[in-house]
């Protein structure tokens, strides 16, 4: 099952391939039979009237099409960063303080996103997206630098993120992301969501939180990208927004999929899925895995509830190089974030506080501890295959002892990294 819906600025998710500033490899989407308040029917790609002038024009740089053509070297294939339903993304170089194109390797590198004229997004939706993004400024959101609106051309210019998406790095096996980097990325992404939910002038529900939409700079600072599905959150006495369902299967909150009722806690659920992916090194949906393991959340739930078996959730490619206490607390956070009751999920500001680095002394397992983990993993796998009881001698007591209650309140400090 795949999901699609409506937002003010677009009617489809922007799924591009796996390179820098790429928000890629989402599942395909098909419509869900629910109502919509706005559509792109009748949208025209023609140049807008003066009455449609961009509200944020003074805050953004306005590029000519020729400037961006020169900046990307005529949009040649070697400049291509990714492509998807809305168009292509190209790398370009511009003057640091202006719009003039410069020689590659000098000035400011940028990511130029074009609008596919045959895509689902029309001019009015594109215009709304620019106005939407122009109001959002935060260190953990990819910055919109400027735009081009000329004849039938529609382009957006973003800051360039050299390491591409988290998805590009998380599932590789030859150089797995270290534990400390994973926790840093999780904290940065949580800060981005917290800003959208609780600090922005108008609350925003991101609605498309996933590994391909988390981009990394050269120092692995993480920023949220692609706000094509973002929607204004409820204001005043309202507690939710009713909308058609849109997103990527495996990340969308179950109550949103079932009812179309959207809240900030829908994003919290998606954060829990992504954080679980970061801990396990597994994709949220993976049909190549054995039956019963296709859906990551469904497979992980039995282990989330039993702290003594937390090690079964940790990416084996970390080779034991992770914080023991941090991993236990991180899994506790995932468990809360994935609660079936939205009201039981934490606020993203609480997640941010929990992810802030503590002074843990057990950053990495010792060789003997890691060996014990591997032995019990093997024993558990053997048990599941044969139905036999695991020999008592294979279980390390150090890993079955839990001094802290699993259901501690979120007001408590639950640090997970160093």
- Give the active site residue among 208, 226, 267, 335: 208
* 3-state class (DSSP) for residue 107: coil
335 is catalytic: no
User: What are the contacts of 33-37 at 24+ separation with CB within 8 A?
Assistant: 34/5, 34/243, 34/244, 34/245, 34/260, 35/244, 35/260, 36/5, 36/6, 36/243, 36/244, 37/6, 37/243
Structure tokens at 334: 């995932």
Residue in the block written with tokens 């194109």: 101
Is 113 assigned a ligand-binding role in the annotation? yes
DSSP annotation string for 256-271: HHHH-EE-HHHHHHHH
Cα–Cα distance for residue pair 194/190, rounded to 1 Å? 6
Structure tokens at 202: 């108008």
Are 261 and 255 contacting, i.e. CB atoms less than 8 angstroms apart?
A: yes
- The residues near 266 (Cβ < 8 Å, ≥ 6 apart) are 205, 207, 252, 253, 255, 256, 342
Catalytic machinery residues: 208
**Residues that constitute the known binding site:** 113
Q: What are the binding residues for ATP?
A: 113
């Amino acid at each position: 099952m795949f999901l699609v819906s409506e937002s003010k600025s677009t009617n489809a998710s922007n799924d591009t391939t796996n390179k820098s500033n790429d928000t890629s490899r989402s599942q395909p989407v098909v419509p869900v039979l629910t109502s919509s308040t706005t559509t792109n029917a009748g949208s025209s790609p023609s140049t807008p009237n003066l009455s449609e002038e961009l509200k944020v024009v003074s805050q953004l740089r306005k590029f000519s099409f020729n400037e961006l053509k020169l900046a990307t070297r005529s949009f040649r294939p070697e400049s291509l960063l990714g492509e998807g339903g809305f168009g292509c993304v190209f790398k370009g170089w511009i003057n640091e303080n202006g719009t003039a194109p410069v020689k590659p390797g000098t000035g400011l590198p940028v990511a130029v996103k074009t609008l596919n004229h045959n895509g689902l997004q029309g001019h009015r939706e594109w215009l709304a997206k620019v106005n939407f993004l122009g109001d959002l400024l935060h260190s953990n959101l990819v910055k919109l630098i400027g735009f081009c609106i000329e004849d039938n051309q529609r382009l957006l210019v973003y800051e360039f993120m050299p390491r591409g998406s988290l998805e590009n790095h998380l599932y590789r096996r030859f150089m797995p992301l270290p534990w400390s980097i994973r926790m840093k990325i999780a904290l940065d992404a949580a800060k981005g969501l917290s800003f959208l939910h609780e600090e922005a002038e108008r609350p925003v529900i991101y609605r498309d939180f996933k590994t391909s939409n988390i981009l990394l700079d050269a120092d692995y600072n993480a920023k949220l990208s692609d706000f094509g599905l973002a929607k204004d959150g409820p204001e005043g006495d309202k507690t939710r927004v009713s909308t058609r369902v849109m997103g990527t299967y495996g990340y969308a909150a179950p109550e949103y999929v079932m009812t179309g009722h959207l809240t900030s806690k829908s994003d919290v659920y998606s954060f829990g899925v992504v954080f679980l992916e970061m801990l396990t090194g597994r994709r949220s949906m993976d049909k190549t895995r054995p039956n019963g393991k296709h859906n990551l959340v469904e497979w992980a739930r039995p282990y989330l509830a039993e702290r003594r078996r937390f090690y079964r959730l940790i990416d084996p490619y970390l080779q034991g190089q992770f914080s023991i206490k941090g991993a236990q607390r991180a899994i506790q956070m995932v468990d809360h974030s994935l609660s079936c009751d939205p009201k039981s999920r934490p606020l993203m500001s609480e997640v941010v506080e929990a992810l802030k680095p503590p002074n843990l002394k057990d950053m990495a397992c010792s060789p003997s501890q890691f060996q014990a983990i591997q032995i019990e993993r093997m024993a558990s796998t053997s048990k599941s295959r044969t139905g036999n009881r695991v020999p008592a001698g294979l279980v390390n007591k150090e890993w079955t002892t839990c001094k802290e209650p699993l259901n501690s309140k979120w007001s408590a400090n639950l640090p997970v990294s160093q």
